[in-house]
Chains A and B, each alone.
Chain A
Amino acid sequence: MKYAFSFLAVIALILIAWLGSLIPGMQYFFGVAVPYLAVLVFLGGFIYRVVQWAKSPVPFPIQTTCGQGKSLDFITHNKLESPDTSGQVVGRMALEVLLFRSLFRNTKSELYDGPKITYESSKWLWLFALLFHYSFLVVIIRHMRMFLNPVPALIGYLDWADSMFEIGTPAMYMTTAGLLTGVLYLFGRRLFNRHVRYLSLANDYFPLVLIFSIAATGALMRHFLRDGIDIVAIKELAVGLVTFHPTISADIGSIFYIHLFLVCTLLVYFPFSKLMHLGGVFMSPTRNLKNNSRAVRYINPWNPDIKPHSYAAYEDEFREFMVEANIPVEKELEPPPEEAAEAAPEKKEE
């Protein structure tokens, strides 16, 4: 049911954009107002979330380590698994962000009669996650040809490399296939892997269905439903949006507005969802802390500011009371200058 809800939600979004874009005058709403609003919510929400995280104190050094920490000279230090300096943290972080190192450690557990449980390395998640994320990245970069005028040569080269198999006209992009394959795997995994299915929620399925629909409408628009897909008019709108003079000069096909509306939904949904792992991976204390808590004292940021209080200062503060209560003091009470001679002997007599 959780995935059925995601499908229903995306179908509703598609219907809104499809029927909405057919109403005369609503093209400006779907083509101009919604994208501006979406980008504003995306940027504002993203910054808000990251600032909220940055405001949360980390009371303990909670870095996860998977290797030997820095110790005596003759014990080999595993620099990437248990970083000791900021440089090593950057190295570890780069491997995590660029190569998804923690997914590489994914294991599959199976229960046999006995009962006996086995664990086995399972690299599929890592492989398809890489495929999915890098395809998505390339897809976003090559969309820049719609927003930049003139188009930088680098984007032209990327476009050429991505469509080098020249399948069909316009040529199919490898990353379109990669993105769709990746998202289908990630979705299928949640359906068919019992463990993951048990802990999957609607907010796990929804972004996958949404991204699948975005990629599918994009591919349909490029290869099949070309009615009203005049690239020049679309680029005029896109460049107009980023130069703040948006114009819609021609009737653009509904499939374009559906694609755009789904992308806007993704942008709005992004900061308030699990997709924030884009920013969150950099903010995880389990990854970005150094494992040097034995060498450098980790200070809990919410510790109260306690000043050192020496015994001499303590005695200075309480000398009168101590003397009154007959507690021995290191430095006697200074008698007032006039009564000094009388008061001292009296006290001794008592």
Chain B
Amino acid sequence: MYNKGYVITGLVIFVLFVTFPVWFNGLDAGPLPKPEPPPGGEKQCVAPAAEMRDSHMQLLNEWRDDVLRNSNRVMITVDGKEYRKGLQIACMQCHSNKEKFCDTCHDYAAVSPTCWDCHIAPAELAKKEAQ
């Protein structure tokens, strides 16, 4: 083999790059997120859990567009229960704890939703009210 020094150095760098996740994680998968079930014990949601897990973000976006852009505030009825369209007036009525519900999975998957650009997170609201 010619230019052994260069070729082997290059290959070592390449293998380190490709296997980056292996040695970065150090064979430790870390804890899985455990979103807290509603503290109030509600079992029913606007859609089945699996569907909410997959596409809650799209539902929330549709609601936002309906309410804020089309002034369509028609309530949603699921199994006889009525929900208003909104993050805080619907979802967070049951899933009241942002840190223990929303943030667990979002942090795990490194997602930074833009909800809280406009909405005031409950913890911050509580702080403000206390002042």
Give A residues with C-beta under 8 Å from B: 39, 42-43, 46-47, 50-51, 54-55, 57-58, 144-151, 155-156, 159-160, 166, 168-170, 226-232, 235-236, 239-240, 242-245, 250, 253, 279, 282-283, 301
Contact = CB atoms under 8 A, between A and B. Distances in A.
Q: Which 5 A-B pairs have the closest CB atoms?
A: A147-B21, A151-B110, A242-B21, A149-B30, A169-B61
Q: Chain A's interface: helix, strand, loop or mixed, by majority?
A: helix
Given A155-B110, A235-B109, A243-B27, A169 B21 contact: no
A111 to B, nearest CB: 43
B127 to A, nearest CB: 25
Contacts of B27: 243-244
Interface of B: 1-4, 7, 10-11, 14-15, 18-22, 24-25, 27-30, 32-33, 50-51, 53-55, 57-58, 60-61, 105, 107-112, 114
Contact of B109 (A42, A145, A279): A145
A13 B54 CA distance: 25
Nearest to B26: A243
Nearest to A56: B2
Contacts of B30: 149-150, 239
B110 A232 contact: no
Nearest to A251: B50
Contact of A243 (B29, B32, B60, B105): B29
B53 A230 contact: yes
A58 B1 CA distance: 11
A144 to B, nearest CB: 7
Q: Chain B's interface: helix, strand, loop or mixed, by majority?
A: helix
A166 B57 CA distance: 13
A295 to B, nearest CB: 20
Contacts of B111: 170, 231
Contacts of A51: 1, 7, 11
A157 to B, nearest CB: 10
Contact of A242 (B14, B25, B57, B61): B25
B54 A160 contact: no
A239 B53 contact: no
Given A151-B110, A226-B58, A243-B25, A42 B53 contact: no
A218 B14 CA distance: 25
A232 B19 CA distance: 22
B61 A168 contact: yes
Nearest to A267: B18
Nearest to B65: A169
Contacts of A150: 30, 107
B2 to A, nearest CB: 6
Contacts of B1: 51, 54-55
Nearest to A147: B21
